[in-house]
Amino acid sequence: SSKIRNLEVQSADDVAELKDCIDFSLAKTVSKIEEKLERGGLPEHLDDDIIPSVGNEIGAEAKIRFLKAKLRVMQEELDTVVCECRKKDDENQNLKSQLKESEEELSRLQRTISVQHSQMEKYKTLSQAANKKSEGLQQELLALEKVLQ
């Protein structure tokens, strides 16, 4: 029991990180490890702290239970990460659709601005022509007033 008390608590450093979760399968990974074990490709004593130092003194059934528990924890962590990835994907899709809507709105507003600018130029030209005509009529009116006097 003193050895069990001295058992080191596993930290998050020994948890596998998913670098590329597109083609990741826990079942495939486990089967690959089992194949390596069958072929003798893996050393008998692994130094990666999968089983703590007390693991050498516990029985095979206890090791299996420990590894199954660790596997369940890792599967739960994987499920959490997958769930978070899905949430992030959904959020990305929402943001992409908002961006697309914003770009369409921007395009529509730019077209409206362009139409309004051309109308403004048109009315400006009409106003200048009306001012010239008004000035001409003012000159003609002054001339006629002089003739009448």
Q: What is the pLDDT of residues 15-71, one digit of tens each?
A: 444 444 445 566 676 677 777 767 765 555 554 556 655 555 677 888 888 888 999
Q: Which two tokens stand for residue 99?
A: 């961006």
Helix 26-39 × helix 60-148 angle, to 10°:
140
Q: Which two tokens stand for residue 23?
A: 């083609």
Q: What is the pLDDT of residues 82-127, one digit of tens each?
A: 999 999 999 999 999 999 999 999 999 999 999 999 999 999 999 9
- Closest by Cα among 84, 74, 69, 71 to 17: 74
Distance CA 84, CA 76 (A): 12
What's the pLDDT band for 141 if we cut at 50, 70, 90?
very high
Distance CA 59, CA 116 (A): 84
At 132, the amino acid letter reads K
